[in-house]
Structure 1
């Protein structure tokens, strides 16, 4: 395959429990080519073999580096999955960076998948006009990430911005990825909404949780993405209404805005992360 010009490209992978998406992205964050496949069973080795095969199918001759968004808590230095839920069995401990760098012969950067989404929205999407942003993704699971000045904040243990395990005062219809039912993910995730049929209630619970969380983080904006956010007004309006009713007065004007890049956000974010790393790798 060809993209039709001689520009440098950056490869991106978005690894999930049901699918793996791959793309070639230019230095401005524009997706040139895409591919996807079902996530195979068999643990980390099988998943990375399928992921590498997708990129090789797109062609890597002009690719300078690879960015990966992966589920679980990821050590951004080593690119190893520190911990993961059963959404992707056998994934915890997988040395994503090491395996893909060896297979593809390219520099590889790896972050949590929601952080990849946040990086894309912060640099080329809905968060690009704000300095400090909390990014929340609501889909099969619930995730969060923080960016400041367009850069990801990882925190001391790689979990800065995570929201899934916030305690809520009710029992969810499905378990959180960790197994508990009194966590935010158990109440507002896609499967939870499917079980109750009530997106507005889920939005209200999320809005109340954000009202407390923003007292601590005090961001300039919240970017709301993921599959559930694509429900649109019934969900996002419920989040905003509940947030404004519960938040401290100085926080009530904090904008809660829908993500702009859709399902491309983690791919764009992973690719731009890889691009940012090339200047560092080139001087080592």
Structure 2
């Protein structure tokens, strides 16, 4: 039987909506995942979140305290108001949505919203690879590229709520390549999974490949084009990280996501580029794999509700 204080954590991405019950100690149960109905627009996505939240809430025992619901989502989020200020074309119709109010009214509970890079950072910082550290850059590389920055043990969201948007750091290798935000020349347009898949299709002429995992398998089997594509994306990402490391000088950089999980074919050139492009002191920064995997943004989102910030302050973690 579940006891103690629990919250519903939700991770909203362009391809799937993941949901779970999360305890104040970071324990997860009742995890679900459904495709994100982006073709139906924002209302369809809201309905899917509501349905999943009701489903997992039904797993709680009578008398167990459900303190609220936390959501991590793609886009720039005003956390204090629970409003999505802007979003990429991965979530069409999402910009301008008062997500906390909309779902709070539907579900009759407190709802907290943040950028999914921030919720990932919160999860890893409290229960994962960043536990016990004060200054950490968190990055995730998958369908898109995101992250969060923790300084002095506190999450930094920035003056316009855009701190940690690692995918939109300018990268010379991405010149003329369109990013999901609509602009060109950002690291996401060269190093995210779809970008590297498109690169492989162009360079190999094999238009049947639609999954980066296939490219990774081919690279492991000796496909030189596949290996070069992975190394190029990884190096681009490593150089972008290096610029941030030089500015922030953190104790550690924690990297996760489906692309990073490919292994050394991505990790080794990423680390080499990072260390070659940093100053002597910051070049010794710890580079750590994320520990919580896909649970990190769910845990971090739930912590928004379980341990909410005092009004007007940054994260207590």
**Is TM-score (shorter-chain normalized) higher than 0.5?**
yes
State the alpha-carbon separation in 1 of the partners of residues 9 and 177 from structure 2. 31
Number of residue pairs matched? 277
1:24 aligns with 2:55: no
The 3-state SS of whatever aligns with 1:219 is coil
Structure 1: which 5+ residue stretches go unaligned? none
Q: Deviations for 1:118-143, whole angstroms, at most 9, x for unmatched residues? A: 11011111111321111111111111
SS in 1 for 2:308: helix
CA distance, structure 2, for counterparts of residue 140 and residue 99 of structure 1: 27
Contact 1:65/1:278 (<8 A) preserved: no
User: Is 1:214 paired with 2:249?
Assistant: no
1:179 and 2:174 equivalent?
A: no
User: 2:129 & 2:51 partners in 1: Cα distance?
Assistant: 32
Aligned 8 A contact 2:173 2:236 in 1: no
Q: 1:229 aligns with which of 260, 277, 283?
A: 260
Quote the residue 2:148 is aligned against: 145
Pair 1:135–1:278, CA change in 2 (3 A): closer
Instruction: For residue 194 of structure 1, report the CA deviation from its aligned partner.
Output: 1.6
Deviation at 1:48, TM superposition (A): 1.2
Q: Please name the residue that 2:57 is paired with.
A: 59
Which residue of structure 2 lines up, in the alignment, with residue 276 of structure 1? Answer: 307
Q: Confirm whether residue 191 of structure 1 aligns to residue 189 of structure 2.
A: no
Cα distance in structure 2, aligned partners of 1:191 and 1:86: 14
Aligned twin of 1:45: 43
> Which of 231, 243, 250 is the matching residue for 2:281?
250
- Alpha-carbon distance in structure 2 between the residues aligned to 1:17 and 1:7: 33
CA distance in 2 between partners of 1:277 and 1:246 (Å)? 38
Measure how far apart 1:150 and its partner are: 4.1
* 1:101 pairs with 2:104: yes
State the distance in 2 between where 1:237 and 1:192 align. 19
Q: Is the 8 A contact 2:250 2:282 kept in 1?
A: no
Confirm or deny that 1:13 pairs with 2:44. no
Q: Is the 8 A contact 2:135 2:251 kept in 1?
A: yes
The offset of 1:59, in angstroms, is: 2.2
Segment of structure 1 superposing worse, 196-205 or 28-37: 196-205
TM-score (norm 1): 0.92
Q: C-alpha distance in 1, partners of 2:110/2:258? A: 30
Deviation, structure 1 residue 159: 0.9
Do residues 168 (structure 1) and 171 (structure 2) align?
yes
**Greater radius of gyration (CA):** 2
Shift of 1:85: 1.1
What is the TM-score when the length of structure 2 is the normalising length?
A: 0.83
Q: Which runs of 4+ in 1 moved over 4 A?
A: none
Root-mean-square deviation (CA, aligned residues, Å) is 1.7
